[in-house]
Amino acid sequence: MTDTPSSRGSRAAPPVVNLGDPLPLADRADNRVLIPALEGAPPRPPSDVIRALGGQTMGTSWNARVIAPPGVGEDDIRAAIQAELDAVVALFSPWEPTSEVSRFNTAPEGVWAVSQPFWDLLDATMDLGDETNGAVDPTLGALVDLWGFGPPGPRSPLLPVPSEQEIEAALAVSGWRRLRLNREARAAMQMGGMKLDFSGIAKGHAVDRVSDRLTALGATSHLIEIGGELKGRGVKPDAQPWWVEIERVEGAAFPRTVAALFDLAVATSGDYRRSFEHAGRRYAHTIDGSTGRPVANALASVTVLHSSAMKADAYATALMVMGGFEGPDYAEAVGLAAHFVERTDRGLVERVTPAFAAMMDDSESAAG
């Protein structure tokens, strides 16, 4: 691990702004550059035209840089992207009362068959729950709502923090160990009052779906961003990779980090993204299912690079839940490329896993 205290301020961390722009060679000395290992030369893009598209989805924005083959126009690209985004919303958005997750959340007790796409993500999320001992947990919707981060909206300013009794009641209908799946029937058991919530994984899943759809369309070179979660495939016409800037925590003094997304995704979870303050304490939107409360460790952000945007999204959330001791140890043990920023008495301190350090320039890795 590499520890670097931070002392001087910088701008707040926005979503990635220079989506896919080239990295000037003159900037390399002032940036941390991440380049994944490649096996052979990447294939040429299907044309020389990069199309830039964007829009709104899932309460946030999406952006894309797409190189499509001749004959596939911008309308075709936009329609393909929109179809995948609409499908994800129809399946997993608790803000849509007719979505599949909303129908399950409001269903009476019983075992309910679900669609194949819904099952696939639920099953994958439960596997990650087993792997991370509940740091990934799709059953925390009641707690998310209770703390004011779900569809019901923020809590009353008069009672911004739930009572112990409210937390215990929500915990009684939460927890990935309580959710029973019937694999033969492709069904899930609603215990009564349980609310599924895929907010820690849905954006990454949507990125993967859009990327796969564009690849099937022949647009094998593209960069997709949804609410700060990104995935790049292929290269640009000049053979340059898709360069993206990794989010920075406000006040971070360590170098600006840019990554080459060669068939790679990146996701960041941070305590600054959605939160509220009460009595001098910040309550972040990430819920720890073991306590029923927002995470209360000192981590400010976690960034994960992975071939799957869904897994990058899920692992970034899980590592935030695990905290500054268990999180780095777990990430290193399973070989994740992860970057941690922790708030300490010395200021902001960063830690990186060996897999993350392996993507740095040799000079940076040696210095760390």
pLDDT, tens only, 181-220? 999 999 999 999 999 999 999 999 999 999 999 999 999 9
Phi, psi angle pair for 20, to nearest 5°: 75, 5
- DSSP letters, 147-201, are TT-STT-SPPTTS-S--HHHHHHHHTT--TTT--EETTTTEEEE-SS-----TTT
SS3 for 341? Answer: strand
Query: Are residues 277 and 271 in contact, defined by beta-carbon separation less than 8 angstroms?
Result: no
CA-wise closest residue to 301 among 342, 267, 344, 270: 270
**pLDDT of res. 362:** 54
Q: pLDDT digit string (tens) for 247-281?
A: 888 888 888 899 999 999 999 998 877 888 888 88
CA-wise closest residue to 133 among 177, 197, 90, 166: 177
Query: Are residues 223 and 242 in contact, defined by beta-carbon separation less than 8 angstroms?
Result: yes
CA-wise closest residue to 221 among 241, 194, 206: 241
| pTM (2 d.p.) | 0.90
Residue 367: pLDDT band (50, 70, 90) is: very low
Rg (CA), the chain: 21
Residue 19: pLDDT band (50, 70, 90) is: low
SS3 for 208? Answer: helix
Q: Cα dist. 224→34, 48, 55, 81, 92 in Å?
A: 18, 18, 12, 10, 19
Q: pLDDT digit string (tens) for 131-156?
A: 999 999 999 999 999 999 999 999 99
Q: What is the DSSP letter of 360?
A: B
* C-alpha–C-alpha distance, residues 358 and 332, integer Å: 12
* C-alpha–C-alpha distance, residues 303 and 44, integer Å: 29
Is residue 128's pLDDT more than 80? yes
* C-alpha–C-alpha distance, residues 230 and 234, integer Å: 14
Is residue 21's pLDDT more than 80? no
Is residue 126's pLDDT more than 90? yes
Q: Cα dist. 275→146, 192, 239, 362 in Å?
A: 14, 29, 40, 38
